[in-house]
Each structure stands twice: as structure tokens, then as C-alpha cells.
Amino acid sequence: MPKKILIAEDEKNVILGVRTCLDAVGYQMEIVEDGEQALDAVRKDPPDLILLDLLMPNVDGFEVLKVVKGNDETRHIPIVVLTAKAEEEDRQRALDLGADDYMTKPFKPQELWDRLKKHLPEHDA
């Protein structure tokens, strides 16, 4: 059963890039475009991993991290932050809130596959 990744990203072109990358290795995907939708999606059908942008409308990525990692039922879900925010203080803040990994844009497909593999080792796509 392929693993399901929730992609929370508001930039359409980046979504296309990420989707193309993940399609190539057979992950299942659900795409949401803001933090509020991301939290809804986690509540309704928890994914195996969340790929999370930080700057999103309504509820931002930091808030998503706070809620998901602050809840006993969802804190086990690995969250890989994928953001254009390259400042050290943002990275530290995200890690302090429980992010499992922090990737900055731009990235290469191989880097993304490696990180996902690290957090989803038994993916059998």
C-alpha cells in the first residue's frame, strides 16, 4: 500500500513540481492550499507524512506544527517542512515545534526523495 503524503503548499507551480516528483516514486498525495485545510485533512484522514510550507494563508505552517505535534493522536505523523524561509531562527522555531525535518527551497527531486525515504522507510511504492 503506497504511503499517503499530505502536501500543504499554496504556490501552484511548486505544487506541480512536488506532485511530479512524488508521482515518479509512487506516493499517494492529498494537496491542500492553506493551514486550515491541512488541519482538517489531518483530522479526517491522517496521512503518513506531512510536507508543510510555512508561509500559507489563514493558518500558517508554524500553527499547523503546533497543533499536530501538540496532539497525542497526531504527533507521531512525521512533518517535513519545505519552505523558502532560510533564516536560522525559522528553522530553529520549526524544529522546536516538533518538525522532523527542514528543507529549504529550491531543492532537487533527489533531496526530497531522500528525506521522504528517511521518514517513511517502509514505503513500498
Q: Which residues bind other proteins (CB under 8 A)?
A: 11, 13-14, 16-18, 20-21, 24, 55, 84-88, 104-110
**CB-CB contact of 123 with 2 (8 Å):** yes
Which residue lies nearer to other proteins by CB, 22 or 68? 22
**CB-CB contact of 116 with 82 (8 Å):** no
- Min. distance of Cβ 107 from other proteins in angstroms? 7
Which residue lies nearer to other proteins by CB, 22 or 67? 22
C-alpha torsion sign, points 74, 37, 95, 15:
positive
Residue 37: φ, ψ to 5°: -65, -35
- Min. distance of Cβ 70 from other proteins in angstroms? 27
- Min. distance of Cβ 15 from other proteins in angstroms? 9
